[in-house]
Structure 1
Amino acid sequence: MADRPPRTAPDLTTDEGRISFNRILNDRLPTKRAIAQGLLRNESGEILLCELTYKSDWDLPGGVVDPLESPASCVVREIEEELAIGVDPGALLAVNWLPPYRGWDDAVLFLFDLGVVPERVATRARLLRREIRAVHWVPSDEVAAHVAPYTAEMLRLVLDGTGGTAYLENSEPPRRH
């Protein structure tokens, strides 16, 4: 077996060296799944939930952030693709770290305020049938009966909050250590 020349560390004093070092880190550091969802309400205060084809829990509109895509861009793209509804993300309501759940690894969920729209927006939605079975306007006090427990708790905290962005871990404020 021929001797290999020793690896040399990238020269961090040059742009090329720093970029090379960043590539090494990108290849070795863990990645985390990111999810972007939106809170869309009608004039009555009901929340839009999606009845999904691939799981029993209903969910807020949105989806998984693609590589190199921002969470805000993701929520716009996903809602356009899955519901044919154009949205403008408003305030970031919550950043919620989610532990592993039903076979998924942990993730970070970004919840955006999508504002108030007329009720007819849901009836005019063109659903991506391979993912969305139906959409429903649900009163906030009935949401927990339809969504995963972490979604119900996150919405409860966001809707009961005093404003600002909530940082949550498994839909709870982080505990002091």
Structure 2
Amino acid sequence: MWAGTSVLITDRRGRVLIQRVDYRTTCLLPGGAVDKDESPAQGAARELREELGVAMTVDRGLAVDWVSADSINTPADMRFPGEILHVYDGGTWNNEQIASIQLPEGEIDSVEFVEPSRLHALMSPGDARRALSALRARINNAGPALLEDGRPIAPTVLDRAGILSTPRARHHLPFHTGPAPEPLVVIQSWGWLLAPDGRVLLLVEPDTGSACLPGGTPEPQDSDNPLVTLRREAHEEAAAEFAEPLLLGHLSETNRPYARLRYAAPLTHLGPPDTDPATGRTHIRVLATPEQTLELFDWGPPAADQLAAVHQARTRFGIPRAEQQPVTELPDAADLTTW
């Protein structure tokens, strides 16, 4: 059978590195066939040297995919009996690493970093499924995913919800600690609601896989009180209640007199979820570490400042730092003392 290998690399915004090659109309992750007398990991490291001019150790697996013969778009005499394809973690590259890429004379026309949601449009269906499954496995931090034709045989909540299949929330807005200046109009109030184990309550749209923090836009009954907005929205969206919050700060918009407030607070109660009156849908509620949460958004460099403020607030609340663990879907009736 064929044995293949590929490497998933992202930049600091969570975009995925893909290659445009001269022998296919669709894009690929770096990688290729495993050569005689080499392991898949050795093959992955060799392909990085040959295709990107980068020498690095590849030692963390993200997925192993059984690619059936019927799904491979190759001549019939090359299909027997299928392919085992390994996906390895190439890590998150900084600007210096990206600048060090040196493409060979032939084969690789160009490389670029793209939003995960664009993979389906740029890659073959099986390659896109495999890349997204591997990326979700990396975020989920539960070990390599076993796939069949790019689909996990034991889907996680990230897979079932289709996380990253649609564009991530994009807010490349500067984050400022402290209250918003008086001239700015508050148009959003979101909360980092922390469970006792240090993880964050995150809401996922059931039909699109889009993720968001609890919160929303002010309504007339809120009487211009952003905390009332946050408590109302948290109750409507997630049946969530929380203790006295801390204001982390606000996001501002260039040339627009608006502010988006960010709070942190300890979660105190989660009731059975109800239909969100704003969307007519019931959100999937999950717990994720703050770091996992940021990977589901495209907030740019200012996200690091917001994350630091979250951890400062967590320390003031006396809540421990969350251990690395899989993203967990919450049941309808959630006892916070068990988290």
The two structures have a TM-score, normalised by structure 1, of 0.75
Instruction: Work out whether residues 82 and 132 of structure 1, in 8 Å CA contact, stay in contact via their aligned partners in 2.
Output: yes
Give the equivalent residue in structure 2 for 1:73: 42
Instruction: Work out whether residues 122 and 135 of structure 1, in 8 Å CA contact, stay in contact via their aligned partners in 2.
Output: no
Amino acid at match of 2:48: I
> In 1, Cα distance between the equivalents of 2:96 and 2:68?
36
Instruction: Work out whether residues 2 and 84 of structure 2, in 8 Å CA contact, stay in contact via their aligned partners in 1.
Output: yes
Give the equivalent residue in structure 2 for 1:166: 145
Amino acid at match of 2:119: V
> In 1, Cα distance between the equivalents of 2:73 and 2:13?
33
The SS at the match of 1:127 is coil
Instruction: Work out whether residues 49 and 136 of structure 1, in 8 Å CA contact, stay in contact via their aligned partners in 2.
Output: yes
> In 1, Cα distance between the equivalents of 2:152 and 2:51?
31
> In 2, Cα distance between the equivalents of 1:156 and 1:37?
13
Paired-residue identity, %: 28
Higher strand share: 2
> In 2, Cα distance between the equivalents of 1:121 and 1:112?
18
- CA positional deviation for 1:122: 3.6
Check if 1:55 corresponds to 2:24.
yes
Instruction: Work out whether residues 143 and 152 of structure 1, in 8 Å CA contact, stay in contact via their aligned partners in 2.
Output: yes
Check if 1:137 corresponds to 2:108.
no
Amino acid at match of 1:50: Q
1:126-173, Cα deviation, whole Å (9 max, x unpaired)? 212321000011111212211111121122223334321111111123
> In 2, Cα distance between the equivalents of 1:73 and 1:95?
15
1:102-145, Cα deviation, whole Å (9 max, x unpaired)? 22422110000111111453443221232100001111121221
- CA positional deviation for 1:33: 1.1
1:46-81, Cα deviation, whole Å (9 max, x unpaired)? 111010110011000011100110000111111101
Check if 1:95 corresponds to 2:64.
yes
Q: Runs of 5+ in structure 2 lacking a partner?
A: 155-339
Give the equivalent residue in structure 2 for 1:39: 8
Give the equivalent residue in structure 1 for 2:261: none
Q: Runs of 5+ in structure 1 lacking a partner?
A: 1-31
Instruction: Work out whether residues 95 and 111 of structure 1, in 8 Å CA contact, stay in contact via their aligned partners in 2.
Output: yes
Give the equivalent residue in structure 2 for 1:13: none
Amino acid at match of 1:157: S
Amino acid at match of 1:108: I
The two structures have a TM-score, normalised by structure 2, of 0.40
Alignment of 1:1-16 (within 5 A): none
Computed over aligned residues only, the root mean square deviation of the Cα atoms, in angstroms, reads 1.7
Structure 1 segments of 4 or more deviating over 4 A? none
Instruction: Work out whether residues 49 and 61 of structure 1, in 8 Å CA contact, stay in contact via their aligned partners in 2.
Output: yes
Give the equivalent residue in structure 1 for 2:92: 116
**Which is greater in Rg?**
2
Counterpart selection for 2:127 from 142, 151, 159:
151
Counterpart selection for 2:83 from 107, 116, 122:
107
